[in-house]
Amino acid sequence: MKSNSKLVIGGILIVLGLIFFSETSGVLPLLHLSAGEVIGYIWPAILLGIGIKMLLDKNTASAILFLSIGSIFLFTHLFSWNFFAVLWPVAIIAIGLSIIFKNESTHMNLDKKYDDSNRVSEALIFWGVDKRMDSKDFTGGDISAIFGGGKLDLRDAKIHKDGAKLAVNAIFGGVEVLVPKDCKVITSGTGIFGGWDSKIASRETKFPVLEITGSAIFGGVEVKE
């Protein structure tokens, strides 16, 4: 298990332990709270925090997804809403916003077998995509799946000489990324009750660098050759 994943999972377990200890020791009851209520606030806060970070990193499509799902969980807890009753309209809104803010350069020409765009931006909510790219100057982008799945094939793409950064996230979904052979690949993913798996062997190539980051929450991300 990678050090960052161990840190996150270890931190979550410590926080959960402190919450339950506070309940059994009588601290939370004095505040008229239960462990379940506190966890109900922390879980959406994590998603909102990830969304805000992605927004600052200009990963707009992924940010919209995390902020939307985090908001749904938070409002469900605050106002005792039915999660599935509010999920569908919010999902539709999120899809609309992702289309509006999606970079036009990432639009795929359906008449072509491959997408030659230099960036990718995919927000998958309750659906999937199988995208193959043959960009001559790939610079990165973001792809996220919530209750959906996707496959991004970069084996025929050429990484920009200054490198590329790709953010990959999955919540209750899965994403598979296939990388080119003529570049150095650096992965840094975190699995939270999910799996982040990199099957890239060590390479002698030092440049260009493809950096893949992200998270898997109750989902899975797999990076392979």
Nearest-CA neighbor of 148 among 129, 128, 162? 128
Nearest-CA neighbor of 89 among 97, 78, 77? 97
Collapse the DSSP code of 189 into the 3-class scheme (helix H, G, I; strand E, B; otherwise coil) and give the result. Answer: strand
pLDDT digits (tens, 9 = 90+) for 15-56: 778 888 888 888 878 877 777 777 777 777 877 887 787 777
Cβ neighbours for 30, distance < 8 A, ≥ 6 positions apart: none
CB 184 within 8 A of CB 210: yes
Q: Tell me what pLDDT residue 190 has.
A: 77
Q: Tell me what pLDDT residue 178 has.
A: 92
Which positions of the chain have pLDDT values less than 50? 1-3, 103-112
Cβ neighbours for 223, distance < 8 A, ≥ 6 positions apart: 168, 177, 179, 185, 187, 189, 197, 198, 199, 200, 212
Q: Tell me what pLDDT residue 96 has.
A: 65
CA-based R_g, the chain, Å: 19
Collapse the DSSP code of 114 into the 3-class scheme (helix H, G, I; strand E, B; otherwise coil) and give the result. Answer: coil
Here the tokens at position 87 are 């999920």
Domain residue spans in the chain?
3-224
Q: Tell me what pLDDT residue 191 has.
A: 76
Q: Tell me what pLDDT residue 109 has.
A: 39
CB 171 within 8 A of CB 153: no
Nearest-CA neighbor of 61 among 95, 93, 87? 95
Q: Tell me what pLDDT residue 112 has.
A: 44
Q: Tell me what pLDDT residue 95 has.
A: 60
